[in-house]
Chains A and B, each alone.
Chain A
């Protein structure tokens, strides 16, 4: 028994020592030591994008905001790529590096981190199969998502992932990409739904919403009902059997809504038909056409989406409807050309976007910020964080060390269960994830009074608030550390003074309670729940 107690005491002491290390900047350990590739590798594209941005600002006579503070950029990167705020541990490491390297190093560390693969995989899963639960048994969302995560970890190029999604044969369990098809399986008709697949391909990979052409010609674009059904016909020979998804025979049929008469439709792509190969199954042909580097649609759709994931707002809105080719923003086409001509490398695309002047703008200005500023990326847009980002931020802010996949099993379990419940109660925006929306009352109630929030900020040995109260060498440091942990910035003079006054002369449990209050206040601010 005494041995176990001793072990426990040892654990506590060790924990405190590690914590002190984290609180004191000089002793931070470098957690992100990955050297980024030299900027020169993508300098031409970056310059072209920046030139284009500056041209727009000049044309509209807009003064862009100044450069955002480094920590603000770290927060954006962390939220976009791992769905959480930087940990205090990461902030210390970040600040210990030379100013000119820290952002690139930090980004590189994230891109090699499993947290990035997992979080991005969840976001892409929504794009590929939506948010419905799908048909029971034949659809395995988690299996699908972890497959994407594995492929991202392996640096699998995006075009290869797409080919697998569209053309794979086999069982949804041991060939996870087939879930892209099985999610549309209709248990009543015992068939995969070619029309839903066509709609999904159009939205996710072509950046076109031609769903409405399912029943009639597109009202304001050049899409005919025939185009839609010809696309669907690529899935007309896809079936489900004992061996899972396979290609056989059959024809997709177009049903006349008035007469009920059915006519078979032959597969045909909506443009660039010369890029369709002669050989292969219909799905293989479609996949080859989509991922041919001479077909710009796939890269454009993905650039718009990755931009949206980085800024929480797409270049062209809505994210899956790019509209007419002539009106595409040049920033999008420049990035898309780079993406397609450099092996559909997602990490390169992310590095590029993160390096643009748009991503580095501040969200505030001494002058006025107008809608035009936000529309042209002359100021970083304010957008509401997704529920996963809010809970991720809350859990991370409540803990001083970084919560990672390798963290203690208990931390991971709490994270998983807590996260699911929180996301559900906070309100999951589903597939419409880049709509501009204001916050809701249940969200505020949850953040103000939710048990999950209370548990993370109450007086407790393991909570960051209590540890900061106990271990900070001064009131000033305590306030500063709380601000860094929750809002990833230092307090203003007014804030510093206001909250220091709350701590003066307060010791012991009372001090922890004051710290709990400060945490509550910071977590309930606009700043915490919004990207900026």
Chain B
């Protein structure tokens, strides 16, 4: 017996039944709805510490002299290839945008990290805040009782509040397999409460005749104690997730941290940074990059899929960033050195148009990248997607007006 409708028949039937999403008009309507979409609300930044190689991840030049030993593989989007180290990510390519022509002027780890995280070249006249701090500063707190800016597995230079204040620094914590540091008292609750009550006696004595309001000390103690008792702290605990999902993310500290990031976003945390170190491949580049990519790939792919499944992707921007790329030329030790003149950054979700590549690097590794994108332009793009005006100014402690981002949004990236 023939099926009532075969595949071809279904398509025909669907178009007859007015499957508007397949027609140009439908597409236009959908785009319009997208334009009026709610702005994104949260950011997850996967930070590849040490300088990930574009060539071994998002920008393979397989076969070229600069390509190294890596192969290129097809992705879910026709015409876009990734390095063979990224098979799971390749499956999610339709949700991901890759910028391959990112340029910066900082080739030192610390300065490069500062540049990419803050969107400004480091200079001693102002300590620039990281994008997560800016987002927390600009968007309301909501009902979040735990820190809104979190850095899991912080590297050497975790995201910071800069001139916005230390209270915008990322709250740092380690592998989610371990309990959160410093949130439980060392004594039973009753005794801990009694200690805290006794604090009032000491505070009263000190406050007499002094201007203590500016210290915000007692308020901060209260907020910290609320956090210690908050149900939302469970968001850090990934053991509550199904085993299969944990395996999808990868049973690594980084995989678990990415899963925790999703749980944090769910309770309203604004920005989570997760660091994966191990990319500084001055020697033996192929092995180091492949090993690190083997940890990044499942975690990033699972995160995008998981967010999509839960309908969280449209309000969450996921960024995969690094301080700089690696030289096209492979050095005599089989390594690649620092290269800020054309490296890759990947973005997904939250109003970023996926399934595309912006810019290209030269297969010879000698010419400038085409359609170059400045680091600060990525900042402006992300802020715009969050409904924040990048041109808005803060005043630094040296009384200098500083824009949230000095860049311009990359139109192609925004849907």
Indicate if the CB atoms of B212 and A382 lie closer than 8 Å.
yes
B166 interface residue, CB < 8 Å from A? Answer: yes
Known: A429-B166, A442-B182. A448 touches B224 (CB 8 A): yes
Q: Which one, B127, B198, B214, contacts A521 given CB within 8 A?
A: B198
Indicate if the CB atoms of A440 and B206 lie closer than 8 Å.
no
Q: Give every chain B residue within 8 A of A504 (Cβ-Cβ).
A: none
Indicate if the CB atoms of B397 and A440 lie closer than 8 Å.
no
B191 interface residue, CB < 8 Å from A? Answer: yes
Indicate if the CB atoms of A430 and B125 lie closer than 8 Å.
no
Bound: A492/B123 CA distance, A: 48
Indicate if the CB atoms of A438 and B215 lie closer than 8 Å.
yes
Known: A374-B211, A438-B215, A439-B217. A525 touches B203 (CB 8 A): yes
Indicate if the CB atoms of A521 and B195 lie closer than 8 Å.
yes
Indicate if the CB atoms of B398 and A209 lie closer than 8 Å.
yes
Q: Which one, B172, B195, B218, contacts A520 given CB within 8 A?
A: B195
Indicate if the CB atoms of A494 and B201 lie closer than 8 Å.
yes
Q: Which one, A369, A436, A517, contacts B198 given CB within 8 A?
A: A517
Find residues 479-532 in chain A having any chain B CB closer than 8 Å to their own CB.
491-492, 494-495, 498-499, 502, 517-518, 520-522, 524-527, 529-530, 532
Known: A199-B124, A441-B227, A449-B185. A499 touches B167 (CB 8 A): no
Known: A132-B110, A374-B211, A525-B206. A438 touches B221 (CB 8 A): no
> What's the minimum C-beta distance from A437 to chain B, rounded to whole angstroms?
6
Identify which of A431, A437, A522 gathers the most chain B CB atoms within 10 Å of its CB: A437
Q: Give every chain B residue within 8 A of A518 (Cβ-Cβ).
A: 198
Indicate if the CB atoms of A441 and B209 lie closer than 8 Å.
no
Indicate if the CB atoms of A188 and B199 lie closer than 8 Å.
no
Indicate if the CB atoms of B221 and A366 lie closer than 8 Å.
no
Indicate if the CB atoms of A449 and B124 lie closer than 8 Å.
no
Indicate if the CB atoms of B191 and A382 lie closer than 8 Å.
no
B186 interface residue, CB < 8 Å from A? Answer: yes
> What's the minimum C-beta distance from A408 to chain B, rounded to whole angstroms?
26
Closest B residue, CB atoms, query A458: B186
Q: Give every chain A residue within 8 A of B203 (Cβ-Cβ).
A: 525-526
Known: A449-B186, A517-B198, A524-B199. A384 touches B215 (CB 8 A): yes
Indicate if the CB atoms of B202 and A525 lie closer than 8 Å.
yes
Indicate if the CB atoms of A445 and B183 lie closer than 8 Å.
yes
Find residues 348-382 in chain A having any chain B CB closer than 8 Å to their own CB.
363-366, 369, 374, 382
Indicate if the CB atoms of B217 and A521 lie closer than 8 Å.
no
Indicate if the CB atoms of A366 and B209 lie closer than 8 Å.
yes
Bound: A494/B207 CA distance, A: 14
Indicate if the CB atoms of B205 and A526 lie closer than 8 Å.
no
Indicate if the CB atoms of B214 and A438 lie closer than 8 Å.
yes
Closest B residue, CB atoms, query A520: B195
Report, as a range, how many residues of chain B touch the other chain.
Answer: 35 or more
Q: Give every chain B residue within 8 A of A132 (Cβ-Cβ).
A: 110-111
Q: Give every chain A residue within 8 A of B225 (Cβ-Cβ).
A: 448
Indicate if the CB atoms of A438 and B165 lie closer than 8 Å.
yes
Find residues 397-425 in chain A having any chain B CB closer than 8 Å to their own CB.
425
A36 interface residue, CB < 8 Å from B? Answer: no
Closest A residue, CB atoms, query B215: A526
A432 interface residue, CB < 8 Å from B? Answer: yes
B220 interface residue, CB < 8 Å from A? Answer: yes
Bound: A434/B210 CA distance, A: 20
Q: Which one, B124, B127, B209, B228, contacts A365 given CB within 8 A?
A: B209
Q: Which one, B194, B205, B211, B223, contacts A441 given CB within 8 A?
A: B223
Indicate if the CB atoms of B124 and A431 lie closer than 8 Å.
yes
Indicate if the CB atoms of B195 and A438 lie closer than 8 Å.
no
Bound: A200/B125 CA distance, A: 11
> What's the minimum C-beta distance from A199 to chain B, rounded to whole angstroms?
6
Indicate if the CB atoms of B217 and A530 lie closer than 8 Å.
yes
Known pairs A448-B224, A495-B202; list 6 more (Cβ under 8 Å).
A199-B124, A382-B212, A437-B166, A438-B215, A448-B225, A449-B182
Binding site for B on A (CB under 8 A): 130, 132-133, 135, 186-188, 199-200, 203, 209, 211-212, 219, 318, 321, 363-366, 369, 374, 382, 384, 425, 427, 429-432, 435-446, 448-450, 454, 458, 491-492, 494-495, 498-499, 502, 517-518, 520-522, 524-527, 529-530, 532
Binding site for A on B (CB under 8 A): 107-108, 110-111, 123-125, 127, 147, 163, 165-167, 169, 171-172, 181-187, 191, 194-196, 198-199, 201-212, 214-218, 220-221, 223-225, 227-228, 338, 397-398, 400
27 contacts between A and B (CB under 8 A): A212-B125, A219-B400, A318-B397, A365-B209, A382-B214, A427-B169, A438-B165, A438-B214, A438-B220, A442-B171, A445-B183, A445-B228, A448-B225, A458-B186, A491-B205, A499-B201, A517-B194, A521-B195, A521-B198, A525-B199, A525-B203, A526-B203, A527-B202, A529-B217, A530-B215, A532-B206, A532-B210
Closest 10 CB pairs of A and B: A364-B209, A438-B216, A526-B217, A444-B224, A445-B182, A527-B206, A449-B182, A525-B202, A521-B198, A364-B210
